[in-house]
Amino acid sequence: MKILLGVTGGIASYKAIDLTSKLVQKGHEVKVIMTKSAEKFVTTLPFQALSRNEVHTDIFDETDPSVIKHIDLADWADLILVAPITANTVAKMTYGIADNMLSATLLASTKPIFIAPAMNSNMLANPAVENNINILRNRGIHIIEPGAGFLACGYIAKGRMSEPLEIIEYIEAYKKGEQIQSHQQKQDLKGKKVMITAGPTIENIDPVRYLTNRSSGKMGYALANAAASRGADVTLISNPLPLERHPAINWVSIESAQDMFEAVQSHMNDMDIIIKAAAVADYTPETVYDQKLKKKEGDLTITFKRTVDILSYIGTHKTNQYVIGFAAETENVEENAIGKLKRKNADVIVSNNVGDTSIGFKSNENAVTMHFKDGDKIEIKKQPKEAIANQILSNVNKKGFK
């Protein structure tokens, strides 16, 4: 692929040198644009040496009269990757500012654009930056999420640029994923009604305390967004979560397992596909106190009662719905998943090993195995939850969901 790599002024720009080297080693042709701020961190020379191409830094440096450089570069590339991208360049992209070689090229491009943000965690969480990233995501810019870890500012938090190999894996998955794109273009779930439950439930103890779990909702929201992009009429049932929702999604806000059960009951008859990605509490306090429980001498005992197993309820009462459950396991993953498939009368169980902290709960990536009722098994290797979601939907379609 012809990759135009944009490098902006962050400490992670040193990683862009390694990224250039690895891209070239994988057979990609790379041209580099650096901002003036990037040049404060690293020089053009390693990029030129590794890419074997001139590095562009100045929009007015027009040495070849036969072309206009930023237009020519935008046209040349199969895709543009900006890694690292600062909050400043994110804002420029959002508002269409073209005041340097990179921002002008981005504005002139009609090609897929990937950005790998890297910044201090407070900057990343600032509503202005979050909002800008969401606007870009909604415009179809591919966001390669930063990871958590040691930041140059001394924080240990989210904001580190993804590692070069992860970035390359992401781009190459996209290249292979032309299938995913064409699904979106073909709108292969158009006319289908899909219900998805996502995230944790909240079981109140008193007005102050509650019982919940580690689910962030990312897996379920990725499924809901992917299904909506593929044309489905999506009903998403979840707690309010700080995650982006496709604008066409019909969101039903719930809190407890009982709320989720009632919402599922009232919507399930209309559905073609039901996906239960939520981490539902198996137990809820027998008594919910109206007033805050006061601290007393000695221990406190709270009795919990069982919640309804919503997936089993769906399995028992379904008519034509295709039912996909999840299994969050820490041991005997396959055996337990197949047990749930049978006991809960699902059509598919998607198992994930939540004992591995790099996947499963809260992380941006997952690795799953789909166990089908007919005994088939499909493994989906570790990748961003958005890609996993699309593959789950594609496999369900492929397996002849009617």
Degrees, nearest 5: CA angle 36-42-47? 95
Phi, psi dihedrals of residue 348, rounded to the nearest 5°: -145, 145
Least distance CB 279 / ligand PMT (angstroms)? 4
Least distance CB 252 / ligand PMT (angstroms)? 15
Q: Which DSSP string corresponds to 275-298? A: EE--B--SEEES---SSPPPP-SS
238: number of Cβ within 10 Å: 27
Residue number with CB closer to ligand PMT (4 or 349): 349
- The tokens describing 213, both together, are 């779990």
- The tokens describing 366, both together, are 């997952």
Q: In this chain, which stretch among 46-54, 141-149, 271-279, 286-294 interacts with ligand PMT, using CB under 6 A?
A: 271-279
* Count of residues interacting with ligand PMT (CB under 6 A): 28
3-state secondary structure of 327: strand
Are 145 and 139 spatial neighbours (Cβ–Cβ below 8 Å)?
no
3-state secondary structure of 359: coil
Residue number with CB closer to ligand PMT (195 or 279): 279
- The tokens describing 143, both together, are 């966001």
Question: In this structure, what DSSP letter does residue 348 have?
Answer: E
Is residue 153 annotated as part of the catalytic site, yes or no? yes
Site for ligand PMT in 156-215 (CB under 6 A): 199, 215
Q: How far is it, in rounded angstroms, from Cα 239 to Cα 252?
A: 8
Name the residue among 116, 96, 220, 198 with its Cα closest to residue 159.
116
Residue number with CB closer to ligand PMT (129 or 281): 281
Q: How far is it, in rounded angstroms, from Cα 24 to Cα 52?
A: 9
Does residue 285 interact with ligand PMT by CB under 6 A? no
Residue number with CB closer to ligand PMT (205 or 359): 359
Q: Applying CB under 6 A, which of residues 130, 178, 282, 376 lies at the interface with ligand PMT?
A: 282
Q: Which of 152, 153, 156, 288 is catalytic?
A: 153
Q: How far is it, in rounded angstroms, from Cα 203 to Cα 209?
A: 9
- Classify residue 150 by burial, with Cβ atoms within 10 Å: 0-12, 13-18, 19+: exposed
Least distance CB 355 / ligand PMT (angstroms)? 11
Q: How far is it, in rounded angstroms, from Cα 1 to Cα 182?
A: 19
Q: Applying CB under 6 A, which of residues 55, 219, 236, 396 lies at the interface with ligand PMT?
A: 219
Name the residue among 361, 335, 331 with its Cα closest to residue 349.
335
Q: In this chain, which stretch among 83-91, 101-109, 248-256, 270-278 interacts with ligand PMT, using CB under 6 A?
A: 270-278
Q: How far is it, in rounded angstroms, from Cα 41 to Cα 66?
A: 32
Does residue 216 interact with ligand PMT by CB under 6 A? yes
Q: Applying CB under 6 A, which of residues 16, 73, 237, 311 lies at the interface with ligand PMT?
A: 311
Residue number with CB closer to ligand PMT (85 or 236): 236
Does residue 340 interact with ligand PMT by CB under 6 A? yes
Does residue 322 interact with ligand PMT by CB under 6 A? no
Q: Applying CB under 6 A, which of residues 129, 327, 370, 380 lies at the interface with ligand PMT?
A: 327
Does residue 360 interact with ligand PMT by CB under 6 A? yes
Residue number with CB closer to ligand PMT (174 or 313): 313
Least distance CB 338 / ligand PMT (angstroms)? 12
Chain residues that interact with ligand PMT, rule: CB under 6 A: 199, 215-220, 257, 276-280, 282, 307, 309-311, 325-328, 340, 352, 354, 360-362
What residues are labeled active site? 153
